């Protein structure tokens, strides 16, 4: 009988522990995503969008000559790695196939833009070097032209060089096909005079012609590169990623709401079960106390009667 009672108590205790473990599990599952993590993720996306806009602006500043060095572009690559690291850490809290695909696509686009920017930096450095040489070349050639013995030739050479430099500077400001054709015409015009120039002037003229050809080539390539850099839609991809995360969060919130309802129902059931167990246990304890009291009373009565009988 005693073993049977202990076994029943053990079964009840095990059921209570299992019920509490199930309730704890449901409570954990019903907890929503951390709002701080969500805000930090959106902040990481916003910072990347802001960086992308600044990055493109720095390229354009270098392109039009507002920025004369590449310090901003060099710092951008370091800052970019930091921002991408933050985004990767934040996305760990949102494992999802769509966001993973968007993250991979974003990596590809950033890598593509980084390569384009590096190519732009190299080409722009070559272009700026040739553009800076133009005034120097014009002065050196003007000095060399004065050594020509015939005045008509000096006038022709001086006019050809001045027209070429003016055409190149105009084309640098407005890299249009028509202006490029004019630069080639002026360059060919200067080249046509090489045969009649003295050796010193001819050498300087050939150097100028080579720099003009570099400017024609690099300016056209840079215009294409800048257009490609602007077309890399990192910001739009970040907007898509943000929408995907919001959609995932909406689904998670609905799921957590459903789990909370289940948890409340389960918790109420467990509470009722505990109340029933407490009531039944209390009743059993009361009955045992009554039985114990009656037994002690009978024992006292028997002792009293035995005492009285012995005295008689």
Selected residue with higher pLDDT from 299 and 219: 219
Mean of pLDDT values over 240-256: 69
Mean of pLDDT values over 216-242: 86
The DSSP symbol for 174 reads S
Q: How far apart, in whole angstroms, are the C-alpha atoms of residue 107 and residue 113?
A: 10
Q: What is the pLDDT of residue 189?
A: 92
Indicate whether 213 pLDDT > 90: yes
Mean of pLDDT values over 161-184: 90
CB-CB contact of 266 with 22 (8 Å): yes
Indicate whether 167 pLDDT > 90: yes
> In the structure, what pLDDT confidence band is assigned to residue 214 with cuts at 50, 70 and 90?
very high
Selected residue with higher pLDDT from 307 and 105: 105
> In the structure, what pLDDT confidence band is assigned to residue 311 with cuts at 50, 70 and 90?
low
Cα separations in angstroms, 137 against 57, 205, 208, 210: 32, 8, 6, 11
Q: What is the pLDDT of residue 93?
A: 59
- Quote the mean pLDDT of the chain: 78
H or E stretch including 123?
helix 97-145
Indicate whether 119 pLDDT > 80: yes
Mean of pLDDT values over 275-289: 79
The pTM of the whole model exceeds 0.75: no
> In the structure, what pLDDT confidence band is assigned to residue 296 with cuts at 50, 70 and 90?
confident
Q: What are the contacts of 169-177 at 24+ separation with CB within 8 A? A: 169/134, 171/215, 171/216, 171/219, 172/131, 172/215, 172/219, 175/219, 175/220, 175/223
The 3-state DSSP class for residue 175 equals coil
Report the share of the chain in percent with pLDDT over 70: 73
The DSSP symbol for 170 reads H
| Cα atoms found within 13 Å of the Cα of residue 105, Cβ hemisphere only | 16
Q: What is the pLDDT of residue 90?
A: 63
Q: What is the pLDDT of residue 29?
A: 58
Q: What is the pLDDT of residue 51?
A: 82
Mean of pLDDT values over 134-160: 86
Q: How many residues does the chain have?
A: 312
Torsion angle of C-alpha atoms 39, 45, 48, 50, degrees rounded to 10: -70
Indicate whether 1 pLDDT > 50: no
Of 33-37, 182-186, 292-296, the range with the lowest mean pLDDT is 33-37
Indicate whether 5 pLDDT > 80: no
Q: How far apart, in whole angstroms, are the C-alpha atoms of residue 62 and residue 126?
A: 13
Q: What is the pLDDT of residue 182?
A: 93
Q: What is the pLDDT of residue 312?
A: 58
Selected residue with higher pLDDT from 306 and 121: 121
Indicate whether 89 pLDDT > 80: no
């Amino acid at each position: 009988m005693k073993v049977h009672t202990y076994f029943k108590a053990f079964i009840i205790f095990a059921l209570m522990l299992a019920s509490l473990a199930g309730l704890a599990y449901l409570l954990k599952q019903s907890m929503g995503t951390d709002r701080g993590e969500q805000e930090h993720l959106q902040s990481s996306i916003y910072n990347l969008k802001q960086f992308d806009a600044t990055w493109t602006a720095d390229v354009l500043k270098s392109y039009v000559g507002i920025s004369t060095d590449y310090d901003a572009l060099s710092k951008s690559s370091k800052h970019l790695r930091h921002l991408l690291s933050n985004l990767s850490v934040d996305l760990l809290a949102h494992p999802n196939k769509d966001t993973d695909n968007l993250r991979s696509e974003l990596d590809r686009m950033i890598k593509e833009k980084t390569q384009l920017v590096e190519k732009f930096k190299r080409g722009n450095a070559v272009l700026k070097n040739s553009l800076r040489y133009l005034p120097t070349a014009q002065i050196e050639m003007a000095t060399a032209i004065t050594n020509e013995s015939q005045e008509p030739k000096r006038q022709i050479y001086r006019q050809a060089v001045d027209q070429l430099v003016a055409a190149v500077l105009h084309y640098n400001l407005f890299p249009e096909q028509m202006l490029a054709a004019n630069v080639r015409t002026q360059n060919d015009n200067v080249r046509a005079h090489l045969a009649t120039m003295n050796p010193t002037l001819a050498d300087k003229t050939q150097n100028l012609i080579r720099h003009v050809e570099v400017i024609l080539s690099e300016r056209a390539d840079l215009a294409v590169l800048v257009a490609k850099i602007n077309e890399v839609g990192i910001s739009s991809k970040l907007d898509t990623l943000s929408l995907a995360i919001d959609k995932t969060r909406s689904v998670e919130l609905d799921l957590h709401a459903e789990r909370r309802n289940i948890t409340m129902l389960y918790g109420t059931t467990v509470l009722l079960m505990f109340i029933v167990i407490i009531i039944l246990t209390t009743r059993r304890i009361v009955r045992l106390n009554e039985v114990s009291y009656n037994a002690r009373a009978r024992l006292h009565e028997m002792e009293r009667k035995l005492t009285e009988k012995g005295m008689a």
